[in-house]
Amino acid sequence: MLENMRRETERLIIRPFTLDDVPALYEIISDPEVMRYLPDDVTSPDELKELFEWILCCYEKNTPSKLIKLTEAIVWKETGGIIGWCGLGPLDFNPDEIEIFFGLAKEYWNRGIAAEAASEMVRYGFDEIGLYRIVAVANPENIGSVKVIEKLGMKYKGIVGKLPEKHKSYEGHLYYSVTEEGLKWKNKVI
Ligand SMILES: CC(C)(COP(=O)(O)OP(=O)(O)OC[C@H]1O[C@@H](n2cnc3c(N)ncnc32)[C@H](O)[C@@H]1OP(=O)(O)O)[C@@H](O)C(=O)NCCC(=O)NCCS
C-alpha cells in the first residue's frame, strides 16, 4: 500500500522516486546551502544511485506497522520537475519515533512549498499509515525548517541532549512532536 503513495496539493505532486529522478535530485543536493544542516552528505551521482536503490527497496518493505523509510519526490505541477523531497521514517537517535523530513531546491524556498508538502505528508502519516505521533528535529539555526515545523502545529518539547557518540550531531537540536488530536488544521489548507 505504501509503495503507491501519491498525493496532490494545490501546487505539488508528492510521489515515489524512480531511478530516473537521480540526476534531478543530484542537482538539488549538490548545492551546499541545501545540505548545510543535513546529517548526510552525498558526494557523487553513483552514491545517490545507491541511496535510491535503498529508498526504492524500502517502498516494498514499508508497512503501516513498520516504516523503514518513506522518501517521496516533491514535483512542481506547473513544470513536472522534481523540486525536492519529503518523507517519514524512524528518528535516527530514537527509532521508536517517526520523524518528518523535507528539503527543496533553493530557488523554491520561502514560498510556503515545504509547509504545503509536509502538511500533506503529515496527513498521510495519520490517515493512511495510522501513526500515533510524528516528531521533528531541527538545528535552531535552520530558521526555515523551524518555521515549517511550527506551521505544522508541532509542539516544542525541548532541546536534544545526552546522546551516544554516533548521534552527537543532533545535540542542541530542537525537538517537536504532534499527535493527530493535536492537529488543528487537518481538514484545511495551511
Ligand atoms: C527548510 C526548508 C525545507 C524550508 O522550505 P520553505 O519552502 O522555504 O519553507 P516555507 O516557505 O514553508 O516556510 C519557511 C518560513 O521561514 C521563513 N524563513 C526562512 N529563512 C528565514 C530566516 N533566515 N529568517 C527569518 N525567516 C526565515 C520564511 O520567510 C517562511 O516564513 P513564512 O511562513 O512566514 O512565509 C528549505 O529551506 C530547505 O530545503 N532547506 C534545506 C534542507 C533542510 O534544511 N531541510 C530541513 C531539515 S529536515
* Rounded CA separation 48/53 (Å): 9
Residue nearest to atom 37 of ligand 1 (CA): 144
**33-66: string of b/e by CB count within 10 Å (b at 16+)?**
ebeeeeeeebeeeeebeebbeebeebbeebeeee
Percentage with pLDDT > 90 across the chain: 86
Whether 59 is covered by a domain: the verdict is: yes
Asked if 73 and 59 count as a contact pair (C-beta separation under 8 A), the reply is no
Residue 190 predicted with pLDDT over 60: no
113 CA distance to ligand 1 middle (Å): 9
pLDDT digit string, tens, across residues 69-83: 999 999 999 999 999
DSSP-derived pairing of the beta strands 133-138 and 7-8: unpaired
Section 42-70 average pLDDT: 92
Whether 118 is covered by a domain: the verdict is: yes
- Domain assignment of residue 53, given as a range: 2-182
pTM: 0.95
Cβ of 147 closer than 6 Å to ligand 1, yes or no, is yes
Residue nearest to atom 10 of ligand 1 (CA): 112
Residue 189's φ and ψ, nearest 5 degrees, are: -95, 135
Domains contained in the chain, number: 1
Q: Pocket of ligand 1, candidates 92, 142, 148: which has the most ligand atoms within 8 Å of its Cβ, to mutate? A: 148
Whether 94 is covered by a domain: the verdict is: yes
Closest CA to 122 of 190, 54, 39: 190
Burial of residue 32 (CB within 10 Å: 0-12, 13-18, 19+) is: exposed
Whether 187 is covered by a domain: the verdict is: no
Whether 189 is covered by a domain: the verdict is: no
pLDDT digit string, tens, across residues 119-155: 999 999 999 999 999 999 999 999 999 999 999 999 9
Q: pLDDT tier at 42 (50, 70, 90 boundaries)?
A: confident
* CATH number where 124 lies: 3.40.630.30
pLDDT digit string, tens, across residues 165-183: 999 999 999 999 999 888 7
Helix (H, G, I), strand (E, B) or coil at 137: strand
Cβ of 109 closer than 6 Å to ligand 1, yes or no, is yes
Cβ of 45 closer than 6 Å to ligand 1, yes or no, is no
Whether 115 is covered by a domain: the verdict is: yes
Whether 73 is covered by a domain: the verdict is: yes
Biggest distance spanned by C-alpha atoms of the chain: 45
Section 153-167 average pLDDT: 94
Asked if 131 and 121 count as a contact pair (C-beta separation under 8 A), the reply is no
Whether 50 is covered by a domain: the verdict is: yes
Residue 184 predicted with pLDDT over 80: no
106 CA distance to ligand 1 middle (Å): 10
60 CA distance to ligand 1 middle (Å): 31
